[in-house]
Amino acid sequence: MALNFIRKFALISMMALTVSATASAQTLVFTAIPDEDETKLVERFKGIADYLSGELDVEVRYIPVKSYAAAISAFRNNQVQLAWFGGLSGVQARELVTGSEAIAQGVEDKAFYTHFIAHKNTGLDEMEELSDELRGKTFTFGSKGSTSGRLIPEYYIREAFDESPEEVFSRVGFSGNHTRTLRLVESGTYDVGAINFSVWDKEMENDNIDTDAVKVIWTTPSYPNYQWTIRGDVNERFGEGFSQRVQEALLAMDAPELLESFPRSGFIPVANDAYEPIRVVGKQIGIID
């Protein structure tokens, strides 16, 4: 009897240790929309993964994705539990995963902007509103799923001309990301393009723009954009209050080298309803069902 009891106790203890080890070995995986070249993204987010791992006391890993749609799919399929989304991709992802929440946005994301940039050969100058001078030019958006690179610029093009971009411009393309948009317009491959102000400013600061070849000609009104979105089931997986701990870690991030990688001056709390204007515009132009 005593021997059987000891064996049962040992077995139960081993099972408990196994469960505990499994729980502690959980890995929080996150991704980000590919708004810049993949190499830059990997460099940016390795430091973020290390920071979050230290703050949360769990392993944190970043995985790159090839497209905005892939980021949303990874979030929906629970391949990632946290994502740095744009305004539109965040809305789309949260509609697919019950209980998911926007928990933090960059200080600059509360009032974000898109620049329209033009090659010097177009002869276009800064304009107060989108004008008929743009008609017949070639134009490139960023990614098809981008808020700043597609949704917002298309909305204002339609509002200004009461026509689709394909009817206004002689050729319309999708570069895939903001950095590529800049290079395509800078080289003259496209006459005009849409790029978010954050990427433009960062490239300017790093002296990576030929200002003799390309310039800003118009800037949109402000709108809410990038945010961290977390799945609604993370507390079940990582423990009660985990979602709040992730939010607190993001809000407390203040290391200049980490913030510069976004680039943002800091993070502030945000909730899903802040992105209702993005959802409405997405439905208006047929990007969201």
By C-alpha distance, which of 63, 72, 236, 74 is closest to 143? 72
Phi, psi of 10 (to 5 degrees): -65, -40
φ/ψ (deg, to 5) at 262: -80, -50
The pLDDT of residue 149 is 94
pLDDT, position 44:
80
Would you state the pLDDT for residue 285? 86
- pLDDT profile of the chain (289 residues), mean per 10: 47 41 68 77 86 95 92 96 96 95 96 97 96 97 92 96 97 95 97 95 94 97 96 95 97 94 92 95 87
Range 16-110+224-283: architecture per CATH:
3-Layer(aba) Sandwich (3.40)
Q: Give the model's pLDDT for residue 287.
A: 87
* Preceding amide of 277 cis, omega within 30: no
What does the pLDDT read at residue 261? 80
Report yes or no: 105 and 251 within 8 Å, Cβ to Cβ.
Answer: no
Please give the helix or strand (H or E) that residue 215 lies within, else none: strand 214-219
List, by residue range, all CATH 3.40.190.10 domains of the chain.
Answer: 16-110+224-283, 113-219
Report in angstroms the alpha-carbon separations of 267 from 97, 226, 232.
23, 11, 20
Instruction: Tell how many helices (H) and how many strands (E) occur in the chain.
Output: 12, 11
pLDDT recorded at residue 17 = 37
**pLDDT tens, position by position, 30-39:** 999 886 666 7
Residue 273: closest CA among 84, 91, 85: 91
Element (H, E) at 12: helix 2-24
CATH topology of domain 113-219: D-Maltodextrin-Binding Protein; domain 2 (3.40.190)
CB neighbour list of residue 28: distance below 8 Å, 6 or more residues apart: 52, 56, 58, 59, 60, 61, 81, 82, 234, 238, 246
Tokens 């009891």 belong to which residue?
5
